[in-house]
């Protein structure tokens, strides 16, 4: 199952989480410990793929890049278990890998057997790049991130903090939920989940969040989730709603709504009083959003399929109190949850995304009322997609000024320029960026 999922991730550009959920749902008889093992193998192999591929290349005489995808993933899953797990004996890992290969690609079974057994004999002889001689190469291999990405991170953070960032991305992230305050309270939900065998603690930053662990079942299978009392959502993601900080009765635009996690949070903050227009370019996303809003008992949202790059019609000009742009981005702040992104991302992606982000921001500006707030957010860490987009916009629009986030945001998450920033290695959350822009009443020249 793990190999099949990894093959689809690589060949189809799919994401591991929905594939894993679908596979496990299709095999309800699978024991809990085996469900956990499958999950660990899939995510562990994706997280540590850089190091695993280095080991394979050290042991394989042929061209690794030309190897059959299934064979390479069988080797990766086998090596991951040999390197990072203790539950299964080495001989059993090798035998299972060989048997899987016979089913998928019989002629490759000898190669898989030879490489894995060779690793068991020579694992202490594998040489890794030395950090003193080549820090970027060392971090790239040992902490399993693409070399171009590590070099970029070193420019941003330096060697020591880049190491910490990459290590954090390879840790299993906590399951974090947002309590739907339209239906319940955080204290009541904490007690409910605790009674169902979960270890529960409050999130460090979001006043609506809970961290759930030691679970015997998926949190999505609980009555709390089914009945809409909780929404799975990272601590930092929950804070985007607090950046927007809408008031009951206001009119809000969510311009890149996606599946609506943030949309629903805005409605909860507004106590289901006012109106929200949620727009997304994907019908699939809009359908999922509508279904989720119904589960959460959100009643103030109208959905619309549309392109955020299009200019608003006259009826929408300066008609919203607040506008949220949760912009499409490279997603480099979510690598601990979506490790497959590491191996798909390209050096030019941030610049490509910034072109789209600038176009969306440009066309969003007319929607906002004078005196209103426009909130720009991403789940990435690159300057090209974050502060450079904001600086480009404010330089061309003197009637917009960047202001500090509301006091609902912890000061440790606000930098000297007034930007909201979170990082996995500093805050234990996904990496997010946010900027709050206020549209001046008078417009025209700035009087800073």
Task: Give whole-number Cα distances, 35 to 30, 38, 444, in Å.
Answer: 6, 5, 60
Write the burial class of residue 26 (CB in 10 Å: 0-12 exposed, 13-18 middle, 19+ buried).
exposed
Residue 322 CA, distance from chain mean position:
25
Do 145 and 165 form a contact (C-beta atoms < 8 A)? no
Q: What residues contact residue 395 under an 8 Å CB cut-off, 6+ apart?
A: none
Residue entry with tokens 């941030």: 350
Alpha-carbon distance of 259 to 292, in angstroms, equals 8
CA 30 to chain centre: 27
Pair of tokens at residue 219: 């949190």
Strand partners, 391: none
Q: Are β-strands 175-179 and 209-213 bridged in parallel, bridged antiparallel, or unpaired? A: antiparallel
Task: Write phi, then psi, for 112 (nearest 5 degrees).
Answer: -60, -45
Structure tokens belonging to residue 293? 């809003």
> Active site residue: 58, 379, 402, 438, which one?
379
Pair 297, 229: CB distance under 8 Å:
no
Looking at residue 227, the DSSP 8-state letter turns out to be T
SS percent in the chain: helix, strand, coil, step 5: 50, 15, 35
Distance CA 179, CA 189 (A): 7
Active site residue 438: no
Name the one residue in this structure whose structure tokens are 């917009």. 400
How far apart are the C-alpha atoms of 192 and 129, rounded to whole Å?
A: 49
- CA gap 238, 411 in Å, rounded: 16
* Residues catalogued as catalytic: 379
């Amino acid at each position: 199952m793990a190999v099949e999922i990894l093959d689809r991730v690589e060949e189809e550009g799919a994401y591991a989480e929905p594939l894993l959920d679908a596979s496990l749902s299709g095999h309800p008889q699978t024991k809990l410990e085996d469900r956990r093992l499958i999950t660990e193998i899939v995510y562990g192999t994706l997280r540590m793929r850089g190091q695993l591929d280095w080991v394979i290349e050290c042991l394989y005489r042929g061209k690794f890049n030309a190897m059959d995808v299934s064979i390479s993933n069988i080797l990766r899953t086998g090596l991951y278990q040999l390197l990072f797990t203790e539950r299964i004996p080495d001989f059993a890992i090798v035998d299972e890998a060989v048997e899987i290969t016979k089913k998928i690609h019989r002629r490759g079974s000898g190669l898989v057997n030879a490489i894995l057994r060779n690793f068991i004999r020579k694992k202490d002889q594998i040489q890794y790049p030395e950090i003193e001689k080549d820090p970027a190469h060392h971090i790239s291999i040992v902490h399993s991130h693409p070399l171009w990405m590590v070099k970029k991170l070193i420019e941003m953070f330096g060697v020591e903090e880049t190491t910490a960032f990459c290590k954090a991305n390879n840790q299993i992230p906590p399951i974090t939920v947002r309590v739907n305050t339209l239906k319940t309270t955080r204290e009541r939900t904490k007690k409910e989940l605790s009674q169902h065998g979960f270890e529960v603690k409050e999130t460090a930053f979001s006043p609506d969040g809970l961290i759930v662990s030691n679970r015997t079942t998926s949190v999505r299978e609980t009555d709390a989730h089914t009945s809409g009392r909780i929404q799975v959502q990272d601590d930092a993601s929950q804070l985007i709603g607090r950046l927007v900080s809408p008031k009951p009765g206001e009119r809000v635009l969510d311009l890149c709504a996606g599946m609506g996690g943030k949309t629903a949070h805005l409605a909860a903050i507004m106590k289901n009083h006012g109106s929200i227009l949620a727009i997304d370019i994907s019908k699939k996303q809009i359908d999922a959003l509508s279904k989720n809003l119904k589960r959460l008992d959100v009643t103030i949202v109208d959905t619309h399929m549309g392109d955020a790059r299009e200019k608003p019609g006259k009826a929408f000009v300066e008609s919203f109190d607040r506008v949220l742009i949760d912009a499409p981005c490279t997603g480099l702040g979510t690598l601990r949850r979506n490790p497959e992104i590491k191996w798909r991302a390209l050096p030019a992606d941030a610049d490509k995304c910034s072109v789209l982000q600038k176009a969306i921001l440009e066309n969003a500006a007319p929607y906002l009322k004078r005196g209103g707030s426009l909130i720009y957010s991403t789940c990435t860490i690159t300057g090209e997609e974050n502060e450079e987009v904001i600086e480009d916009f404010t330089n061309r629009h003197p009637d917009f000024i960047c202001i500090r986030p509301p006091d609902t945001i912890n000061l440790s998450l606000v930098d000297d320029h007034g930007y909201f920033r979170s990082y996995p290695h500093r805050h234990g959350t996904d990496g997010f960026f946010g900027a709050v822009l206020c549209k001046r009443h008078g417009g025209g020249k700035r009087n800073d």
